[in-house]
Amino acid sequence: MMDLTQKQWVRHAVTHPVEGFEDMRWKKAGSLKIAMLIVVLLFFGEIAYGRLYGFQFYISYDKTFNIIPYIVRSFVLFGAWAVGNWSVCTLLDGEGTLRNISIYSAYALIPYVAQLYLNVILSHFLIRDEYVFMQVIKFIGVGWTVMLLFSAVKSVHQYSFKKTVLAIGFTLSAMFIMLFLLVLFMSLIQQIYIFISTIYTELSYRAKV
């Protein structure tokens, strides 16, 4: 089997959606550093897509910059996917480790990340009548990533086609549950903070009086 560098494995996995991840598994290839770099690029790509898009295609009405939604759409969702898939597939006799799931999933995101940056750049050069080209690029990027993600899950866990579909469905359900619990936890923390802040303000006022 081929002997490639880590960067070459990235290109091989992305350009060979059927056997790329399978080859990576047998060669025990994949870099966690590169995977984390891809997620960081996803984070900045989401920011660029939301804030730097050409005004003729998208106008942001937000007067202040809030980084939280971009963290959620990148780091939080990716982490929820990796942990959710690992948790679910452990119960379904999957062979993938959390490390390999994270690496393979990050590699699968490359087409989606690439279309974010490409569409942001094109939005400053194309006119509204040429918006269809940007839509085609987005469709290809998203579709390619979905195909790679499916292949990544299938290869890392050594599942059949049907079991891969089942695992992805359960993973999405697990992600929804985790994000729902996270929202509840953050809401609880906020309520506790408000309660403590109110008590502190009241005590400070009475101490001054």
In a domain, 129, yes or no: yes
Distance between CA 175 and CA 78 in Å, rounded? 10
Domain extent at residue 95: 6-169
pLDDT tens figures, 32-83: 999 999 999 999 999 999 888 877 777 666 667 789 889 999 999 999 999 9
Domain for residue 174, yes or no? no
% the chain with pLDDT above 90: 63
Q: Is residue 182 part of a domain?
A: no
- 184 vs 27: CA distance, rounded Å: 42
**Does any domain span residue 199?**
no
Structural domain includes residue 185: no
183 part of a folded domain: no
Q: Which two tokens stand for residue 55?
A: 């005004």
User: pLDDT tens digits for 72-92?
Assistant: 999 999 999 999 999 999 999
Q: Please tell me the pTM assigned to this model.
A: 0.88
Answer whether residue 114 is part of any domain.
yes
Mean pLDDT of 146-166: 95
**Residue 32 belongs to some domain of the structure:** yes
Write down the pLDDT at residue 121: 93
Number of domains present in the structure of the chain? 1
